[in-house]
Amino acid sequence: MGAMPVGDLAWWLGLLFGAAPLLCLAAYHAADAWYRAAFFLAHGKKRLPPGHMGIPFLGETLSLLWYFKHARRPDAFISAKKLAYSSSGHGGDGGDGIGMYRTHLFGSPSVIACSPAANKFVFQSPDSFGIRWPVPELVGVSSVVNVEGGAHARLRGFIIAAINRPSSLRTIAAVVQPRVVAALEAWAAKGSIVAAAEVKKVTFANICKMFVSMEPSPLTAQIDNWFGGLVAGLRAFPLDFPGTAFHRARKCRRNLNAVFRAELDSRKKAAAIKTKEEEEKELESCDVMGGLMQMKDEQGNKLSDDEVVDNIVSLVVAGYESTASAITWAAYHLAKCPAALARLREENLAMAAELGNGKFITHEDIPRLKYTAKVVEETIRMANIAPMVHRVARKDVEYRGCTIPAGWSVLVWVRSLHTDPENYLDPLVFNPDRWDEPAKPGTYQVFGGGYRICAGNMLARLQLTIMLHHLSTGYEWELLTPEAEIDYLPHPRPADGAAMLFRKLAKKAN
Ligand code: HEM
């Protein structure tokens, strides 16, 4: 074989160094040009929010995965946009920045909202932004997270009443503590634990008790397993054939519905022979399922059986991993911040001494734990358990000179508020004292905002406070790998699950 003629070589080199990069550039801008052209045809001179739609088909999903999974710098995904598209250079609402960017993520053309004003606008405009679950059956067709409008307001009223009314929180505070105390004793007996796994177990045991009065058994272990399958399927691509996560999730959902329906039926049979007074007395101290079954709205109507079952499943999905994750993060940060732990311990030992005789704290004692409340808020701020909240534009929506097209996804990027140094000094430092002052308006959206703000936020805070009380008064712990990497997907957590040495304090106060 002879050598390649010089002319051919020059042609190939020209293609490589000239045309190939041009082709890549053209491919990179093709999707953005396509969406802009389609937008121009439909809307004329109106403007899309600033941003870029990424590469064809995949959009910016790979870039997001790179920042979250590979670089482990999730906030750089948004900072890069702020730098690129806000003429003030520091994003937010400054310069041309409107706190919104167009992009293409998770298979949909999308707008990211990431400033206090833009997020507020999305959260508080239910007529403009709704919810869209790829498969409503998985989250529950008649569940509060799936319904909209008047039906949502009605259901939400029932749920808030069942889990946030003082009598519920009082009962919950009392029923969760024996399990917390027993779990902590068991951790100390082991000496070394993976906190994320252990916290999950005790959180689930408490959920079973609070929601349906079930004690740990082979059935609750099975229920836990089904919840795991359901949550995995909610995050999976909806491919429905045997072997896929989505297929398994549908099966898990059916099993969960069946098991809670059986529980509901047996309660209805038992209720049929109760007097009205017995029923009313029970409502004061019953579990969440009992509350949902018995409550009536202003017209005297109760929830249907399907609504009770769908919403019990939704409440477990919403409140299980989130609460467990917050508790794990609290233990993690306190292990790294001995000064905060010392002050937490001092406050809680004083409370334990005041209560005396190893008495449990009550719902009424909690407002007096002022420093503990600051540890709770700081933990939840830093944990960023829900980095973003999903909505969809119901119609073309105008916002500060830009148009969000109907049907586009809207991602309310709440995480970026909590890690922005403009909102929180040294945002990545765990500092409960920052809560001596309230956060700047609109910069604390850990529980979302507007008409869908987390219905269980009081319950989450209550459980975290109770755990902190028993941890700080009775135990000490140290991380085995303090410099362990952080995984950010699907939710932030220490990659080693916060493995730690765990032992009783030399002198236990209660
Ligand atoms: C630290 C723990 C928690 C965090 C960070 C959290 C976060 C959130 C967020 C961001 C939303 C808003 C979703 C949206 O706007 O679409 C939400 C909604 C919700 N959360 Fe939580 N949550 C937590 C614990 C809980 C608990 C313990 C429960 C109840 C057992 C719960 C029940 C709900 C429900 C029912 C909704 C839907 C409200 C609605 O659509 O009206 N959450 N949560």
- Tens of pLDDT, residue by residue over 165-184, are 888 899 999 999 999 999 99
Query: From the alpha carbon of 131, which atom of ligand 1 is closest?
Result: 16
Beta strands in 366-438 (DSSP E): 389-393, 397-399, 402-404, 409-412
Summarize pLDDT for 245-283 with one digit per residue, the tens. 999 999 999 999 999 999 999 999 987 777 767 666 665
- Placement of tokens 């009962």 in the chain: 171
CB within 8 Å of 70: residues ≥ 6 apart? none
Cβ(326) to ligand 1 under 6 A? yes
Query: From the alpha carbon of 322, which atom of ligand 1 is closest?
Result: 2
Cβ(102) to ligand 1 under 6 A? no
- Smallest Cα–Cα separation from 176: which of 146, 143, 199? 199
The whole-number pLDDT of residue 138 equals: 92
pLDDT of residue 88 exceeding 60, the answer is no
Cβ(386) to ligand 1 under 6 A? yes
Would you give the end-to-end CA distance of the chain in angstroms? 88
The whole-number pLDDT of residue 507 equals: 66
Cβ(454) to ligand 1 under 6 A? yes
Distance 460 CA to ligand 1 centre (A): 9
Cβ(459) to ligand 1 under 6 A? yes
Backbone angles phi, psi at 247, to 5 degrees: -60, -45
Distance 40 CA to ligand 1 centre (A): 38
Ligand 1, pocket-test mutation among 454, 491, 493, most atoms within 8 A of CB: 454
Residue type, 389: V
Cβ(322) to ligand 1 under 6 A? yes
Q: Please compute the mean of the pLDDT values over residues 327-352 and round it to a whole number.
A: 98
Distance 145 CA to ligand 1 centre (A): 9
CA 464/CA 462 separation, integer angstroms:
5
Cβ(417) to ligand 1 under 6 A? no
Distance 396 CA to ligand 1 centre (A): 27
Work out the mean pLDDT of the chain and round it to a whole number: 92
Is 326 in contact with 379 (CB distance < 8 Å)? Answer: yes
CA 475/CA 449 separation, integer angstroms:
36
Q: Please compute the mean of the pLDDT values over residues 292-297 and round it to a whole number.
A: 88
pLDDT of residue 509 exceeding 50, the answer is no
Ligand 1, pocket-test mutation among 447, 452, 453, most atoms within 8 A of CB: 447
The whole-number pLDDT of residue 280 equals: 63
Burial of 507 (0-12, 13-18, 19+ CB in 10 A): exposed
Q: Please compute the mean of the pLDDT values over residues 310-316 and round it to a whole number.
A: 95
pLDDT of residue 284 exceeding 80, the answer is no
Per-residue pLDDT band at 396 (split at 50, 70, 90): very high
| 454 annotated as belonging to a binding site for a ligand | yes
Cβ(312) to ligand 1 under 6 A? no
Cβ(384) to ligand 1 under 6 A? no
Domain extent listing, the chain:
136-504
Cβ atoms within 10 Å, residue 324: 25
The whole-number pLDDT of residue 130 equals: 96
CA 248/CA 271 separation, integer angstroms:
35
Query: From the alpha carbon of 207, which atom of ligand 1 is closest?
Result: 30
The whole-number pLDDT of residue 93 equals: 42
Q: What is the CATH number of domain 136-504?
A: 1.10.630.10
Cβ atoms within 10 Å, residue 123: 22
pLDDT of residue 357 exceeding 90, the answer is no
Is 53 in contact with 35 (CB distance < 8 Å)? Answer: yes
Query: From the alpha carbon of 311, which atom of ligand 1 is closest?
Result: 35
Q: Which residue minimizes the CA distance to atom 35 of ligand 1?
A: 455
Q: Please compute the mean of the pLDDT values over residues 124-136 and round it to a whole number.
A: 93
The whole-number pLDDT of residue 94 equals: 39
Q: Which residue has the higher pLDDT, 239 or 2?
A: 239
The whole-number pLDDT of residue 92 equals: 42
Is 325 in contact with 494 (CB distance < 8 Å)? Answer: no
The whole-number pLDDT of residue 282 equals: 63
Q: Please compute the mean of the pLDDT values over residues 316-333 and round it to a whole number.
A: 97
- Smallest Cα–Cα separation from 433: which of 383, 479, 373? 373
Rg, the chain, Cα only: 26
Which DSSP helix (H) or strand (E) runs through 192? Answer: strand 192-194
Q: Which residue has the higher pLDDT, 380 or 5?
A: 380
